[in-house]
Amino acid sequence: MRLVPCIAAVFALVVSSCVSADVIVLKNGNRIVGMNATADGDRVTYQTSAGQLSIPKAIVARIEHDDFSFSSADGAGIAPPVSAPQIEPATGYEAIAQKTIHDGGVDYAYIESLESEARTGAPGATNKVAAACYAAAQFFLAKGDSASAIQQYRQGLEFAPHNFGLLMNLAVLYLRESQFTEALNPLQQAREIAPDSADVYKLMGWAYYGADKTAEAIDAWKQAIKLRPDPDVIEALKKAERDQALESSYREGETAHFDLKYYGGAAPELARGILGALENDYNDLQSQLDYTPPEQIAVILYTGQAFADITRAPSWVGALNDGRIRIPVEGLTSVTPELARELKHELTHSFVGQKTHYRAPTWLQEGMAQWMEGRRSSSDAAYLVDAAGRGALPSLAALDGSWIGFTGDNASVAYAWSLAVIESIIARGGLGDINRLLDAMASAPSPQVAVLQALNMSYDELQQQAVDYLNHAYLNN
Ligand SMILES: [Zn+2]
């Protein structure tokens, strides 16, 4: 039984969904970047654009999962182009942190006493303020309150404007919130303090790339590699250079919320039509998801060959979203109903990715994208209920992470099941519940905890709710 009408679309969606970059650190110090690295027997396997590769476990020191994933198998929806470096807090941090955070809260009186001390010009006092504000920011981040964390970093910087750790951590926070232009301010200050820091240039590249300034991103990442070779940055640089190689021949179109690039061969009417459709979709998603992406979203239209060259995606891939929405439009002259659905689907991934700080599990990403494009479970309900009865449906936990290794059939079921789960949440609690869930995903330690916090349900209960919903809504049971 085919649950999704177009098998090519299935694979396209699979590729679009989940990219979780891991770093495999070898005992000789070399680092390999791959996706979904897992230890399996005496081998470590990982995905690359060239397919699955494996190396002997004996030569591996450790696997570092990027800090946007919850665990080895977790995809991160739309992943950032590079991972965030760990920035050490100020010296003497532990003692100050203990005085700043205690009894489940921030001791503002203590922070104020440090600030008063700093105002007298006491030596070392500004560093104490920096450490206390850093500790308070960590406290708020753990609660998922990014706005208060940003406030703490900024307050610390008022007293210690040259504190590298505060500047870098503030920049990382802005980047996670997709506030790319905002992130450039602290990064430029950090560069003045530490002109030889590879981490500063790594993050600058991320900021420029996110702001759709490819040439500046390439310059920054080249500088980062010159200062310290980093496979993570090398990968990002290659991708940016592939983008740039064809950008010179692209024409551009811009609206309030989108920056569209398209190959000269595409019809300008098509580009205008796509921008118009995307603007409508944007307004719709903005009100439904109660979220406004802070920056313009980059969209690139390709001829078939250019799409294959740049994305290095297999030939059966349709559109994809890796932070930029990339759509092959070969042979199209207007926005067909199918293209319209694809645009809404991919734009939903951008909204869900940014709103959850790239932490949405794949079932949530794909369930939401299908729901927003207008797909419903009617034709799949009987199959899903029957499969649930036979214990043949995948658990949601198995759909948290990457779907890249799924067969076409498994992917079809994964899409249909994810949509049913989303439908059941909306049927019970409306988009209010969805938005609570998306907000919880941004900060909870795992997707299961987020579901518990937002919906007061375990994964098992959510799965049962979805089956009950299918029975009631479509099968008169
Ligand atoms: Zn998708």
Residues 168 and 304 in one domain: no
* 4 C-alpha to ligand 1 centroid (Å): 12
- With CA atoms as reference, report the closest residue to 29 among 238, 236, 228, 222: 228
* 207 C-alpha to ligand 1 centroid (Å): 24
Residue 321 confidence (pLDDT): 84
* 367 C-alpha to ligand 1 centroid (Å): 8
* 55 C-alpha to ligand 1 centroid (Å): 31
* 9 C-alpha to ligand 1 centroid (Å): 9
Residues 147 and 223 in one domain: yes
* 363 C-alpha to ligand 1 centroid (Å): 10
Residue 264 confidence (pLDDT): 62
Average pLDDT estimate for 340-365: 94
* 219 C-alpha to ligand 1 centroid (Å): 31
Domain that holds residue 257: 7-15+251-474
Span of 160-174, 263-277, 459-473 with lowest mean pLDDT: 263-277
* 253 C-alpha to ligand 1 centroid (Å): 24
Q: How far apart are CA 183 and CA 204, in angstroms?
A: 8
* 369 C-alpha to ligand 1 centroid (Å): 6
* 335 C-alpha to ligand 1 centroid (Å): 19
* 362 C-alpha to ligand 1 centroid (Å): 9
Q: How far apart are CA 297 and CA 288, in angstroms?
A: 18
User: Is residue 87 domain-resident?
Assistant: no
User: Is residue 351 domain-resident?
Assistant: yes
At 41, the pLDDT band (50, 70, 90 cuts) reads: low
* 17 C-alpha to ligand 1 centroid (Å): 5
* 366 C-alpha to ligand 1 centroid (Å): 5
pTM of the model: 0.70
Span of 13-27, 278-292, 410-424, 448-462 with lowest mean pLDDT: 13-27
* 351 C-alpha to ligand 1 centroid (Å): 12
CA atoms within 13 A on the CB side of 169: 28
Q: How far apart are CA 390 and CA 412, in angstroms?
A: 17
pLDDT of 9 over the 60 cut: no
User: Is residue 73 domain-resident?
Assistant: no
Residues 319 and 174 in one domain: no
Contact in structure between 76 and 66 (CB atoms under 8 Å): yes
Residue 323 confidence (pLDDT): 83
User: Is residue 158 domain-resident?
Assistant: yes
Strand, coil or helix: what is 436? helix
Residues 320 and 427 in one domain: yes
Q: What is the CA radius of gyration of the chain?
A: 23
- With CA atoms as reference, report the closest residue to 132 among 144, 158, 121: 158
Helix, strand and coil in the chain, % to nearest 5: 55, 15, 30
Residues 419 and 290 in one domain: yes
Residue 249 confidence (pLDDT): 66
* 19 C-alpha to ligand 1 centroid (Å): 12
Span of 17-26, 218-227, 315-324 with lowest mean pLDDT: 17-26
At 320, the pLDDT band (50, 70, 90 cuts) reads: confident
Taking only the tens place, the pLDDT of each residue in 238-296 is 988 888 876 666 777 888 899 998 876 667 888 899 999 999 999 999 999 999 999 99
Residues 381 and 279 in one domain: yes
User: Is residue 356 domain-resident?
Assistant: yes
Tokens at residue 6, please? 């177009």
Residues 409 and 316 in one domain: yes
> How far is CA 48 from its chain centroid?
18
User: Is residue 234 domain-resident?
Assistant: no
Burial 204-236 (b: 16+ CB within 10 A, else e): bbbbbbbbbbbebbbbbbbbbbebeebbbbebb
Contacts of residue 335, defined as CB under 8 A and 6 or more positions apart, other chains included, come to 270, 273, 274, 276, 277, 343
* 394 C-alpha to ligand 1 centroid (Å): 18
Q: How far apart are CA 253 and CA 272, in angstroms?
A: 8
Average pLDDT estimate for 61-73: 39
Helix axes 214-227, 231-247, angle to 10 degrees: 150
Residues 259 and 164 in one domain: no
Contact in structure between 416 and 377 (CB atoms under 8 Å): yes
* 355 C-alpha to ligand 1 centroid (Å): 16
* 348 C-alpha to ligand 1 centroid (Å): 8
* 346 C-alpha to ligand 1 centroid (Å): 6
Higher-confidence position of 88 and 324: 324
Q: How far apart are CA 150 and CA 160, in angstroms?
A: 15
Task: Give burial (CB, 10 Å; 0-12/13-18/19+) of 456.
Answer: exposed
* 413 C-alpha to ligand 1 centroid (Å): 14
Residues 209 and 121 in one domain: yes
* 13 C-alpha to ligand 1 centroid (Å): 4
User: Is residue 39 domain-resident?
Assistant: yes
Span of 26-30, 303-307, 347-351, 425-429 with lowest mean pLDDT: 26-30
Residues 189 and 282 in one domain: no
* 304 C-alpha to ligand 1 centroid (Å): 19
Residues 41 and 143 in one domain: no
* 378 C-alpha to ligand 1 centroid (Å): 19
What is the torsion angle, in degrees rounded to the nearest 10, for the CA atoms of residue 310, residue 312, residue 316 and residue 318? -40
Residues 221 and 255 in one domain: no
CATH number at residue 125: 1.25.40.10
Q: How far apart are CA 243 and CA 454, in angstroms?
A: 39
Taking only the tens place, the pLDDT of each residue in 422-457 is 999 999 999 999 999 999 999 899 999 999 999 999
Residue 8 confidence (pLDDT): 29
Residue 10 confidence (pLDDT): 32
Tokens at residue 453, please? 């916090």
Residue 303 confidence (pLDDT): 73
Contact in structure between 317 and 11 (CB atoms under 8 Å): yes
Q: How far apart are CA 92 and CA 85, in angstroms?
A: 21
User: Is residue 242 domain-resident?
Assistant: no
- With CA atoms as reference, report the closest residue to 434 among 364, 376, 375: 364
pLDDT of 50 over the 50 cut: no
* 354 C-alpha to ligand 1 centroid (Å): 15
Strand, coil or helix: what is 198? helix
* 201 C-alpha to ligand 1 centroid (Å): 31
At 58, the pLDDT band (50, 70, 90 cuts) reads: low
Q: Into how many domains does the chain fold?
A: 3
Amino acid identity of 301?
L
CATH number at residue 333: 1.10.390.10
